[in-house]
Structure 1
């Protein structure tokens, strides 16, 4: 294909994604689902035209990593910290942690009983299937109001972070031994220290740089620190969350510093225009990267592999177990509304990234990209149902 043909295709992809966003607001059908189906359709067209183009796994991973960073940063930049938000943050953190552990144990047990593989291998393959994708959840709840939206943003972000931490913990060679907890705890402390230091550096750059081109320099530093931390097997997504929260709540942090130190170094008024631009560029970048990632992931799926009653049954069973555990927690532990919270636990970008991170010796042939796609598809459909019901009954909580 010529260069102009490629440019036409890329431009049409962005325009189509924007149209999908508009359609999603009107129909409550997740735009991500439409992008995935479009990618599958493009693959069928390419096969029919005998166009032999395979999506490199590395390219998909790069888009996924950058997309995850941008989407979590976009969500964090919309969150305001205050004393009255502490119960909400605590509730969303507990929901993410308890359901992540419970669902991972349940799906790991299913895989162990089904395949007879070692427990560590089954648990490692289960974690990608239970982590909530903030890449799908955060954009999908933009039209929800107040606390419901904030709960889902916090929960999905915590689920991403805790899911990566759990994955790294299970991936240790000494996973079943006692001192693995010491190694894991040391990593948690280290990532908190790195998060604080990197947030200070990035915040200083944001406040002091006066060049016209500075936001992508900031993103480059953020991606660099994220990647270096990831190389050390640290939960580097915490860096992104900490930076976004610190920037959006800079007035609170600076006022706290001034009261205790008298330091007057940075004016919050001077940061306001930069914060507005940062939010805008982050949202645009997240939209662009998300578009290409889900189109490419859909394109990488072979439709013939999905036409299987056994595969569909396995996907339905996994989603049913995940939804059942989520219902039990929300209904009997958290005592919270079920609509739309019960249905908004989509799998997506983080699921694919974690699956691609599974070491070769722990891969299970029966857990493939096809299973991932079915689970992503079913959880996206459930989310659509939840958003439609929530739109029809915005203040009602459904009791079962």
Structure 2
């Protein structure tokens, strides 16, 4: 076939290039509307092709099946596409926000998730699994070859607080140092780090302006719509910000995704989401002060470092000496686990977020390379 075995086709332009060679044999075509490509499909070899959620005319579908293709039709009346070939963007998830958050695809998908999970419908379970696998595939494609740093922290951190501003400056510093910032994609510290990455290409004043604009809406409660609209207004005032990744979940549907992550890998399965975020953070993980969820993430990351199940231990930087030594004494346990193991030299405890880039450079043996840009 043209283009190599098992080629993924995720856009109409990619389809047209492959169809021009009169062979789609072995291709996987994901969620591409082919209703206007009947002539091309009738004239093209589709043996061993797989069409995932691609609308097409009945004649074209019948011919593809006769060739030996597998045709998985679109599923009607779903608020999401289980076969999608790309990650989400904030504009997609918050579409129709002006009509109320409940009318957005994000909220409608959460409502479907809650209903389908309660019913125990095996078909719905299969659709969720298909969706999450497609999202993982798109995330791997996006992050291939990038230096990814995960930033973890509590969702309760409010806009307007010193901690929020510090997390935002951290995201900006990491992005300017050439890292791709990846967070859990939700509010609080996660939003702040994504905001900082978004602000990285601009002058320093842009972040201060954004923080001031966001401060009057400190939290997503009581109004997700007001909270999201404030972020979208910042993006509208300063379009073209730096790229970063958010990896949220509908499992915690009461927490909306933040609008500063330019690429959003939203999952139904929280376990897949959490492990996937940590596994992809090959350049290290930063843990800002948090509560039970952040503690869990610290040891979710420490276990592979301890056993070497992901290869060389990944750097871990905990921010907040008092918090992680006394308030939630995670650091002493981490030190005890690391004693005598390779992970012992891949962890650091710092007082402030401003110390993180230097700590990461020290743990990886790399010199800091400050530069404009986002690593995206």
Output the TM-score relative to the length of structure 2.
Answer: 0.27
Greater helix fraction, Structure 1 or Structure 2: 1
Bigger RCO (CA 8 Å, 6+ sep): 1
For the pair shown, the structure with the greater C-alpha radius of gyration is 2
TM-score, normalised relative to structure 1:
0.26
